[in-house]
Amino acid sequence: MAMTSFPRPFLCALMALAFSTTPGIGQEKTAYVCADDQATGFDFKNGPNQVSFAPSKFTIVMDWPTLKFKNQIAELTYTCSIPLEFSLPDLVQCVGMSNFITFNSKTLKYYRARMFGEIGGATEKNPVPDQVYLARGTCQKF
């Protein structure tokens, strides 16, 4: 079977696209204040019980590709990408230490999850595993 060679301009354009920055997100630092509309998950204090959590408020600062999350309990750093850049360019996905945020930069709606729980949250000093949760909500630009 013969190998097909690609024209040099095509390869150059492909390489430029692969290493280009994402348009629209990005180059400027943007701050948001966010609030959960709903939050649910599992609490492991008395076994893995399904619970509803009180919605929380937090701030995020997007400094592409890094997202800084801050609430009254913790500060977390996420690394973000746009996994479906050509079909959903406003969908931003961020990951950091078993925490996930999916954020729509146009509608400012999000889903966030903490997925640590009983598979990695318990220690000898703290035998109760971390809670697992899923929350949804909306942000506003600062």
**Predicted pLDDT at 43:** 84
For the stretch 30-64, pLDDT in tens is: 999 999 999 999 988 777 889 998 889 999 999 99
**Predicted pLDDT at 74:** 84
For the stretch 75-88, pLDDT in tens is: 999 999 999 989 99
Say how far apart CA 36 and CA 95 lie, in whole Å: 18
Sequence-separated (6 or more) residues with CB below 8 Å from residue 55:
35, 36, 37, 38, 39, 135, 137
Q: What is the pTM of this model?
A: 0.73
At 63, which CATH number? Answer: 2.40.160
For residue 21, being part of any structural domain is answered with: no
Asked whether 42 and 119 are in contact (CB, 8 A), the reply is: no
Say how far apart CA 67 and CA 55 lie, in whole Å: 21
More confident residue, 119 or 85: 85
Determine the structural domain holding residue 130 and report its residue range.
Answer: 26-141
For residue 5, being part of any structural domain is answered with: no
For residue 90, being part of any structural domain is answered with: yes
For residue 44, being part of any structural domain is answered with: yes
Say how far apart CA 102 and CA 111 lie, in whole Å: 5
For residue 136, being part of any structural domain is answered with: yes
